[in-house]
Amino acid sequence: MVEILANAPAEPAGTVTYAAAAGLLGSVWLLVAIPLVSAAVLLLLGRRADRWGHWLGVGAVGAAFVLGLTYFFQLRDLENKSVELSLWDFIAVGDLRVDFGLLFDPLAAVFVLLITGVGFLIHLYAVEYMAHDAGRRRFFGYFNLFVAAMLLLVLGNNYVMLYFGWEGVGLASYLLISFWYERPSAATAGKKAFLMNRVGDAGLAIGIFIMFATLGTTQYDEVFTGVGSLTASTVLVLGLLLLLGATGKSGQFPLQAWLPDAMEGPTPVSALIHAATMVTAGVYLIARSNPIFSANSTLQLVVVSVGALTLLIGCVIGAAKDDIKRVLAWSTVSQIGYMFLGVGLGGGAYALAIIHLLAHGFFKANMFLGAGSVMHGMNDQVDIRRFGGLSKHMKITWLTFATGWLAIIGIPPLSGYFSKEPIIAAAFEREDWTAWLFGGAALLGAGLTAFYMTRLFVLTFHGPARWTEDIAHPHESPKLMTIPLILLAAGSVLAGGLMAWNDGVASWLTPVLGEQSGEAHGVLSHSMITVLSILVTVVGAGLAWFLFRAGTATAPQPAGVLVTAARRNLYTDAFNEAVFEKPGIFLTRALVYLDNRGVDGLVNGLAAGVGGGSGRLRRLQTGFVRSYATSILTGALLVVAAFLAVEAGWLA
């Protein structure tokens, strides 16, 4: 423990330099501009755009995807793969210099492809999903706004730009969670997301202030180059604040409670924002700031702990939930826990976390859209106890969902196997007893994931039908919804293997995330871990299959301590209420009392004083020229007298 807290710099940070954007890459700002303009058109034109607005929204994201792909190929041929484009000096006062600039590098490039690629498919799906909603145009306006903000977040070349995108996606997320604002639960969920994100955002903002105060800049290259000159404790505080921001946005412990509630939004929103992209912004932040996090091993330990703890919390709660979208939401929390574990391990695991993030983007979006398709066919039912036997009625949804399920639990050769198993292995490669702790947690998580995802899958698609009376024949969704499903299913099957092929993505990301640190030796051999992880997966899945193959009761059953606790989100909500809400309310009341009696008295007195003074002074404004002239003359005499007094040296 002592050596862990010794703040030993893990790796010295080198100098970071970015090339200037030239040629086609000079137009990289279009990526942000296109969806932004589309959002503005959709929101400003109002009802006039109702007929064609959704296609504009889809087209804008499609165009951004094509552009992103072009830029991606441009980048491949470059020597220095980090291309910077400075648009204008955003803030330039005194020493504070903030560039309104973009950075297109391998890390940003893969995020751009994920956001616009998966985003495009989900937009397409939403055209049909939202077809009967009167607010479809508004929905697409917000959706485009989200894409623009998310692209700004990953493309900015300094922390202030990142913060802009960060707040932008927060805004879009808030608007979309409470999209059906007539529903009280949706409005409340929106507020909850807003408040919890505020806590994280405050951390991020203070982190940026510290950066400016200690390094005098917020540009990525200058911060990363200068981080070596900071004291260990500054780096620790800075990193913890950034981490607080990351946990808020990514639904990690201790700020995880908002994410499952965010499922009140329309399903495409859950798929795009609360599964595939926005919630991974925290992982992006840490991966982007890797020189800061790598500079302090205590910091890395905290990140790893947050990741490990959250992944277990997510699994345990996910296993006890009955709402299809909430199970998926807790699974998102848990999978992002894996990613945090990865970025916390540092070194080569940064790239592993990003690969898992990309793979997760595919299979989680796939499953969310699949859940949407199920709800579409089942009168918006979300309770998995009231599904069952749907495999016969929704063939495409069933098959595509199955690929997502197999991918997330990590069955080879689907995508999750290639992305999750290396993280588990990396967790076992730590050098002390913590290898057992974190490796064990990751391994246990894999088993639990297999259990609750299999439970979800079996209860939904297999076993006896337990539908509510109003449903006679569940129907498959229309083509516009199934085609994105099929494409995402293909991604769920192939993406992991393709990305792991020949270390393709890992070496692509090397310029940003640093060299991989050779062959490490874990406490267990790699093949042993592979076998173990497949084993726990099969055991978890098999157990779930055995328990739920014949369906389940449609009402909650009495359960033991653990299950009850899991059903209540492991009492985290109760904890929040007891520790933050109650004292908060008490404090507010106390402050209101103080405010009414003390501060208001003072302020009102002051205001009355100013007002009274103002009233008295106003009487000088009589309207008579003679009194004005007298006033001017008096002033003139005073000014002349003052000047003469200065001359005579009386005021010196």
**Judged by CB under 8 A, does residue 636 bind another protein?**
yes
Rounded Cα distance, 371 and 367, in Å: 6
H, E, C per residue of 448-480 = HHHHHHHHHHHHHHCCCCCCCCCCCCCCCCCHH
Binding residue (CB under 8 A) for another protein from 72, 90, 164, 180: 90
**Judged by CB under 8 A, does residue 24 bind another protein?**
no
Query: Which amino acid type is present at position 327?
Result: V
Binding residue (CB under 8 A) for another protein from 47, 88, 527, 560: 88
Segment near another protein (CB under 8 A); pick from 276-284, 521-529, 584-592, 641-649: 641-649
* Residue whose CB is less far from another protein, 171 or 486: 171
Q: Are 329 and 262 in contact (CB under 8 A)?
A: yes
The DSSP output letter for 21 is P
* Residue whose CB is less far from another protein, 587 or 639: 639
**Judged by CB under 8 A, does residue 164 bind another protein?**
no
**Judged by CB under 8 A, does residue 643 bind another protein?**
yes
CA distances from 415 to 332, 422, 449, 490 (A): 16, 12, 15, 10
Number of helices (H), then strands (E), belonging to the chain: the values are: 27, 3
* Residue whose CB is less far from another protein, 473 or 619: 619
Binding residue (CB under 8 A) for another protein from 182, 473, 647, 650: 647
Q: What is the Cα 183 distance to its own chain's centre? A: 24
Segment near another protein (CB under 8 A); pick from 52-60, 398-406, 550-558, 612-620: 612-620
Min separation Cβ 194 and another protein, Å = 21
**Judged by CB under 8 A, does residue 610 bind another protein?**
yes
Residues 6 or more apart from 454 whose CB is under 8 A from it?
405, 409, 540, 541, 544, 545, 548
Min separation Cβ 648 and another protein, Å = 9
Residue written as token pair 């995880």: 256
**Judged by CB under 8 A, does residue 650 bind another protein?**
no
Binding residue (CB under 8 A) for another protein from 51, 470, 615, 650: 615
Kindly tell me the burial class for residue 188, based on how many C-beta atoms sit within 10 Å of its own C-beta (0-12, 13-18, 19 or more): middle
Min separation Cβ 11 and another protein, Å = 37
**Judged by CB under 8 A, does residue 89 bind another protein?**
yes
Size of the site for another protein (CB under 8 A): 35
Q: Residue ranges of the alpha helices (H) in 501-558?
A: 504-508, 510-513, 526-548
**Judged by CB under 8 A, does residue 625 bind another protein?**
yes
At residue 118's C-alpha, the angle toward residues 117 and 121, to 5°, is 95
Helix or strand run (H / E) with residue 388: none
* Residue whose CB is less far from another protein, 97 or 386: 97
Binding residue (CB under 8 A) for another protein from 51, 213, 618, 650: 618
**Judged by CB under 8 A, does residue 93 bind another protein?**
yes
**Judged by CB under 8 A, does residue 614 bind another protein?**
yes
The DSSP output letter for 93 is E
Handedness of CA 103, 105, 111, 116 (dihedral sign): positive
Rounded Cα distance, 93 and 66, in Å: 38
**Judged by CB under 8 A, does residue 47 bind another protein?**
no
**Judged by CB under 8 A, does residue 623 bind another protein?**
yes
Binding residue (CB under 8 A) for another protein from 2, 15, 94, 650: 94
**Judged by CB under 8 A, does residue 634 bind another protein?**
yes
Q: What is the Cα 287 distance to its own chain's centre? A: 13
Token pair in block for residue 29: 């700002």
Binding residue (CB under 8 A) for another protein from 92, 539, 559, 594: 92
* Residue whose CB is less far from another protein, 574 or 607: 607
Interaction mask 590-609, another protein, x per CB under 8 A: -----------------x--
Token pair in block for residue 482: 């199934």
Work out whether strand 83-93 and strand 19-20 pair parallel, antiparallel, or are unpaired: parallel
| Residue 256: closest CA among 299, 201, 197 | 197
Q: Are 567 and 462 in contact (CB under 8 A)?
A: no
* Residue whose CB is less far from another protein, 2 or 620: 620
**Judged by CB under 8 A, does residue 617 bind another protein?**
yes
**Judged by CB under 8 A, does residue 632 bind another protein?**
yes
**Judged by CB under 8 A, does residue 651 bind another protein?**
yes
Min separation Cβ 614 and another protein, Å = 4
C-alpha atoms less than 13 angstroms from C-alpha of 297 in its C-beta half-sphere: 15
Segment near another protein (CB under 8 A); pick from 83-91, 168-176, 260-268, 575-583: 83-91
**Judged by CB under 8 A, does residue 613 bind another protein?**
yes
Work out whether strand 96-104 and strand 19-20 pair parallel, antiparallel, or are unpaired: unpaired
Segment near another protein (CB under 8 A); pick from 180-188, 291-299, 369-377, 638-646: 638-646
Rounded Cα distance, 421 and 412, in Å: 10
Query: Which amino acid type is present at position 650?
Result: W
Residue written as token pair 């089942």: 378
**Secondary structure class of 90 (helix, strand, coil):** strand
Binding residue (CB under 8 A) for another protein from 185, 229, 231, 631: 631
Contacts (CB under 8 A) with another protein, residues 99-128: 100
Q: Using CB under 8 A as the criterion, which residues of the chain lie in contact with another protein when the complex forms?
A: 88-90, 92-94, 100, 607, 610-611, 613-615, 617-618, 620-621, 623, 625, 628-629, 631-632, 634-636, 638-640, 642-644, 646-647, 651
